[in-house]
Structure 1
Amino acid sequence: MNTAFLMNSLWVMVGAVLVILMIGGFILLETGSTRMKNAGHIAGKTILTFSIGSLVFWAVGYGLIFGKGNALIGFSDFFYSGYDVKSLSLSGAVFFLFQLAFAGISLTIAFGGFAERAKLSAYLVFSVLFSIFVYPPIAHWIWGGGWLAEHGKQDFAGSTVVHLTGAMAALAATILLKPRIGKFNKDGSANNLEGHNQVFTALSVLLLWVGWFGFNAGSTLSVDKAFFGFVAVNTNLAAAAGTVAAMIISWIVNGKADVPMMLNGALAGLVAITASCAFVETWAAVVIGFVAGILVFYSIRFFERRQIDDPIFALSVHGTAGVWGTLSTGFFATKELATVGKPGLFYGGGLEQLGVQALGVFTSGAYAFFVSFAILFVMKVVMKGLRVTEEEEIIGLDMSEHGSYGYPELLRPGQKLNA
């Protein structure tokens, strides 16, 4: 066993740990962005659903993505044993854990569309079905040697595979669940159901930002030439540019430097650079992040005006920014860095790679939305609804689903709570 094999395996293991720790960032993000009467529920269900997703990925998900099969799906390596050697340069078990972490992140993103109104049972069932029927086919098409990979689709660390997939599932959920009580008035205007802790959301963004170095730089799967450092620099620059852009546009339009919008700008920059972090120069990473910060501002307003209630802005941060990030390689991928596919429009590649990227966005996004919608629609019929009762929603899911509050000293049964 050579030194390169051990170093590569150790590096990717570090990346896997960082990505799994991002689950903690999502706990703080979703908890801080919602009301305290649901805080314990959100924290607990996130750990539970990641656990379910992990077991399903071990049983069938990994095989559906990376098993031997055809252009649409894999058919082998179910109930992964952990003993194989993925290649001469990397431990198979480490690669498995790294990919499991990505699947878990996509599932967590999807649940942003469920927040503050879905039954716990809906989370449990959808965790299983998403991890079999939604995420694996798209991941196989792009990362498992499927038909989009054959076309040269560029998605280095998952702007499409992870983020857009999760966002489209969230869109399906929020449409079927309908808005939270009190979110919209009869005239269609929106009320701001403010999250209870901006410190949580700021800390969550920092944790996610750091975890993203495992997400993107870890996707090099190698320490060769320390290329992961270049990927990390692009990742950091895009996040910084997204933060600044969202702050500027919110200040210009609203007259105030909105804190949640700044935080969403950082995440949008991270999501956008995820597809292109290994394929573009540093100046392009800044542009990609900056554009993502502006797009997320207008995307949030767009969905709210259409009475789509997205409590943690998954559709904008992961969906809109995921689309832009995927398309961006069709503009900015360089001849030297485009190890997958072809150079972008600005580097002499013409429209070919941009067309492949657009095809990937459309097919993957449509598949994730319609399959998720169908699954959730059937669940709604079979389970006699996905949503808790009005009384349970007003009380809060901490008490109605678990029998205790996440903040027991602040909230008591019978206390009047914000609807």
Structure 2
Amino acid sequence: MSSTFRTTGLAVGVLALSAGAAFGQDAAAPEAAEAVEYALASDTAYIFNTLLFLIGGFLVMFMAAGFAMLEAGMVRSKNVSMQCLKNISLYSIAGLMFWIVGYNLMYSGVDGGYFGTPSPKMIEPVGGSDLGAGYSGASDWFFQMVFCAATASIVSGTLAERIKLWPFLIFTAILTGILYPITGSWEWGAGWLDGMGFSDFAGSTLVHSVGGWAALSGAILLGARIGKYGPNGQVHPMPGSSIPLATLGTFILWLGWFGFNGASQLAMGTISDVTDISRIFVNTNLAACGGVVTAVILTQIIYKKVDVTMALNGALAGLVSITAEPLAPGIFTSIIIGSVGGAIVVFAVPMLDKMKIDDVVGAIPVHLLAGIWGTMIVPLSNSDATYSVQFIGVAAIGVFTFVASGIVWAILKATIGLRPSEEEETMGMDKAEVGVEAYPEFGQGSQRL
């Protein structure tokens, strides 16, 4: 039976029972009418909650395009096709792994522990529903899966231009199928951190910092791109292929973030929920605005010129910063939280260069450092959280992800290798591994980019 037919039938039932009560024909009619009205309200909440997951899910899915365009614009032209291939591949691998093992590892049977049951996720049969859950299980799986894929996208940008395709894809499978679900279960799966009172509304730590820690461990083991750093600590700029593409990618990510944060309310069946979602949208948007303006002002002051890439990353850092608690803060507080995220980017990018950690797109400052900041500042506006528990959560997730990722990267390096040959890296990954150049009309000129 369709949901429309069922809802219509319930409405007719309500009218019929109400009419019967009015004529005194059935003394039990008022109670029955109340029961039917309750059932109708449950159906309505189920529909709107499911719709929230689906709309939020496809907005977050569109962030995959944002990551792809951002990375395509930030790498040199000889590596653009590789980044496009990596992004469509990692999204697909994340989808398969999160269905095969990841979802239930994250949510099924955690019960205050450290991980759930590794098994495929079962969804409802055709026409079936479980009103007790308050939403469709399939919609929940889809919404959670796109978060998982976003985590892997963070790693892709950091390690761009000097990692081979297959080791990256193998790491992606392990990250999305095992590592991300385990740490996710600690909070969102009602695991041990959730029991302590750790709070991460939409994933400043559980998504963004996890991706950032995995990227950092990979960048350290992989090393920098050829020619990035001189023997005396000089930093040689390697401009990206397209600022317009990077800007487009940033705006797509900004748009997708409304699904990322807004749908993390996890309910849209009441006036209160819809009002809160609207508040989340406003706070999310203004935090990003604060991040951009702060990055623009600081780069003008420090470098005497405005760096557009810093402005783009300032927006993303503002978004990451507000993700841990986008509901509770007031507008001014949200702007400050996002502004600090933008400042983190401006100061952390050159700091990483001094450490000779090559992060092509700036994902470590944006996702790792701003993610830590956003998680640690939650108690400022959310009285249910404490700074001590927030620190325990950030530290535990960071240590686990960094060490586990490092072990996986080290095994891959020792077996199949991580880097292409010097000749292949100089040639560009498009020719070396993909076989399709993004800009073939450039001809031999692309070799010099």
Both structures adopt the same fold (TM-score exceeding 0.5): yes
Which residue matches 2:73? Answer: 32
Aligned pair in 2 of structure 1 residues 34, 65: CA closer, same or farther (>3 Å)? same
Distance in 1 (CA, whole Å) between partners of 2:65 and 2:328 is 29
Which residue matches 1:350? Answer: none
Is 2:198 the partner of 1:157?
no
Cα RMSD between the aligned structures? Answer: 1.5
- Indicate conservation of the 8 Å contact 1:37/1:411, yes or no: no
Name the amino acid aligned to 2:398. G
Is 2:277 the partner of 1:232?
no
Distance in 2 (CA, whole Å) between partners of 1:406 and 1:311 is 18
SS at the partner of 1:185? coil
Cα displacement (A) at 1:8:
1.2
- Indicate conservation of the 8 Å contact 2:71/2:157, yes or no: yes
Distance in 2 (CA, whole Å) between partners of 1:276 and 1:154 is 8
Given candidates 228, 240, 259, the residue that maps to 2:308 is 259
What is the percentage of aligned positions where both structures have the same residue?
A: 37
Aligned pair in 2 of structure 1 residues 392, 80: CA closer, same or farther (>3 Å)? same
Cα displacement (A) at 1:418:
3.0
Is 2:446 the partner of 1:405?
no
Cα displacement (A) at 1:101:
0.3
Q: Deviations over 1:336-386 (max 9, x none)?
A: xxxxx34xxxxxxxxxx0111111111111111111001110111111x10
- Indicate conservation of the 8 Å contact 1:274/1:325, yes or no: yes
Name the amino acid aligned to 1:398. D
Aligned pair in 2 of structure 1 residues 77, 364: CA closer, same or farther (>3 Å)? closer
Q: Deviations over 1:228-259 (max 9, x none)?
A: 10011100010000000011111111111111
Distance in 2 (CA, whole Å) between partners of 1:65 and 1:282 is 33
Matches within 5 A, 1:205-284: 205-223=250-268, 224=270, 225=272, 226=274, 227-284=276-333
Distance in 2 (CA, whole Å) between partners of 1:72 and 1:265 is 36
Cα displacement (A) at 1:142:
1.2
Matches within 5 A, 1:308-347: 308-333=357-382, 335=383, 341-342=384-385
Q: Deviations over 1:106-147 (max 9, x none)?
A: 011122232101111112211111123321111000110011
Aligned pair in 2 of structure 1 residues 77, 178: CA closer, same or farther (>3 Å)? closer
Distance in 2 (CA, whole Å) between partners of 1:302 and 1:404 is 35
- Indicate conservation of the 8 Å contact 1:165/1:364, yes or no: yes
Distance in 1 (CA, whole Å) between partners of 2:74 and 2:113 is 37
Distance in 1 (CA, whole Å) between partners of 2:159 and 2:81 is 15
Name the amino acid aligned to 2:88. I
Distance in 1 (CA, whole Å) between partners of 2:304 and 2:74 is 22
Matched residues, number: 400
Which residue matches 2:40? Answer: none
Given candidates 380, 393, 400, the residue that maps to 1:360 is 393
Q: Which runs of 4+ in 1 moved over 4 A?
A: none
Distance in 2 (CA, whole Å) between partners of 1:328 and 1:85 is 37
Cα displacement (A) at 1:166:
0.1
Cα displacement (A) at 1:296:
1.2
- Indicate conservation of the 8 Å contact 2:102/2:118, yes or no: no
Q: Give ranges in structure 2 of 5+ residues lacking alignment.
A: 4-42
Q: Give ranges in structure 1 of 5+ residues lacking alignment.
A: 336-340, 343-352
Matches within 5 A, 1:108-123: 108-123=153-168
Distance in 2 (CA, whole Å) between partners of 1:70 and 1:276 is 24
Name the amino acid aligned to 2:372. V
Which residue matches 2:405? Answer: 372
Name the amino acid aligned to 2:246. T
Distance in 2 (CA, whole Å) between partners of 1:373 and 1:140 is 21
The alignment's TM-score, normalised by the length of structure 2, stands at 0.87
- Indicate conservation of the 8 Å contact 1:65/1:73, yes or no: no
Larger Rg computed on CA atoms: 2
Is 2:440 the partner of 1:391?
no
